[in-house]
Amino acid sequence: MSRALIEMDGASKSFGGVKAVNNVTFTIDEGGVIALVGPNGAGKSTTFDLMTGFQKLDSGRRRTMGIDTTRSPSYRFPELGVARTFQKVRLFPSMTVLENALVGGLAKFHSVSAAEGAARRALERLGLDDRADRSPAELTLIDRKRLELARALVPEPTLLLLDEVMTGLTPHEVEDAIMLIRQLVDEGVTVLLVEHLLKVVMRISRRVLVLEHGQLIADGTPDEVQADPQVIEAYIGVPRHEEVDDAGR
């Protein structure tokens, strides 16, 4: 069996009376693309926050690269090989594009010049190197997303968590994003996606986890998950025969 990168054991998180994540257990093993899907408010982003130390677990445990990180803060994760993007792009407006990318490498490299080298390589990869000295305010939405992805790549992660990076992209931009994800996988990066574009998810993932109301209701291959009645009911909300009818078959 391949190496366990992140193990969540009985993870729970509530906000007031809302159980955002409710006793969830899963392991993210190494290799390929894995997706975390579910309806709006199912707890996907909170699960990402719990996996990366951006939210404290109310109960349950977390291991990262085999180390108990249940109480570790978010800044420890890049050096462990885990990086992420956010659903709402988080950039520093008073810093340049290069500086925003470079921040992603400080915890890993412990030297500004090494982090700057990695940041320049990541910006080049995302096609932003010609705007390194600009303000992020001058970038379009897609380029701000690219910059956030560049920042996540700077520490050269083993596991990359992408929170809805394809939302709002044109079909052409989605294909570019898929190509980049596949290149990263070829280089040995494991990619965990939260994504609403189900067709894309089913095309590129080897494994799909489904959350509903904070609980894990399915975990399997795209074919297994799409055939699961609980998933069809909860997530797609349309009985299978109606879907088939819609497709004109």
| DSSP calls for 62-85 | EEETTEE-TT--GGGHHHHTEEE-
Q: Which is nearer to ligand ATP, 42 or 83 (CB)?
A: 42
Cβ(74)–Cβ(82) below 8 Å? no
Q: How many helices (H) and strands (E) does the chain have?
A: 10, 10
Site stretch for ligand ATP (CB under 6 A), options 25-33, 40-48, 61-69, 93-101: 40-48
CA dist., res. 43 & res. 212, Å (int): 7
Q: Out of 1, 2, 40, 186, point to the residue binding ligand ATP (CB under 6 A).
A: 40
What residues numbered 159-218 form the site for ligand ATP, per CB under 6 A?
none
Site stretch for ligand ATP (CB under 6 A), options 43-51, 110-118, 141-149, 221-229: 43-51
Number of C-beta neighbours around residue 172 at 10 A: 8
The answer to whether residue 45 forms part of the interface with ligand ATP (CB under 6 A) is yes
| String of contacts with ligand ATP for each residue 59-88, x by CB under 6 A | ----------------------------x-
Tokens of 185: 């996988």
| Residue in the structure block whose two tokens are 């399997």 | 220
The answer to whether residue 2 forms part of the interface with ligand ATP (CB under 6 A) is no
Pairing of strands 67-68, 4-15: unpaired
Buried b (16+ CB within 10 A) or exposed e, 210-240: bbbbbbbbbbeebeebbebeebbebbeeeee
**Least distance CB 227 / ligand ATP (angstroms):** 22
The answer to whether residue 18 forms part of the interface with ligand ATP (CB under 6 A) is yes
- What is the distance, to the nearest Å, from the Cα of residue 2 to the centroid of all Cα atoms in its chain? 20
CA dist., res. 16 & res. 13, Å (int): 10
**Rounded (5°) CA angle 198-199-201:** 60
**Least distance CB 16 / ligand ATP (angstroms):** 6
Q: Out of 24, 26, 35, 38, point to the residue binding ligand ATP (CB under 6 A).
A: 38
Q: Out of 28, 42, 191, 193, point to the residue binding ligand ATP (CB under 6 A).
A: 42
CA distances from 88 to 67, 94, 119 (A): 29, 18, 21
The answer to whether residue 226 forms part of the interface with ligand ATP (CB under 6 A) is no
What residues numbered 90-109 form the site for ligand ATP, per CB under 6 A?
none
Site stretch for ligand ATP (CB under 6 A), options 14-22, 72-80, 175-183, 220-228: 14-22
Q: Out of 5, 6, 34, 44, point to the residue binding ligand ATP (CB under 6 A).
A: 44
Site stretch for ligand ATP (CB under 6 A), options 15-23, 147-155, 172-180, 228-236: 15-23
The answer to whether residue 15 forms part of the interface with ligand ATP (CB under 6 A) is yes
Residues at the interface with ligand ATP (CB under 6 A): 15, 18, 20, 38, 40-46, 87
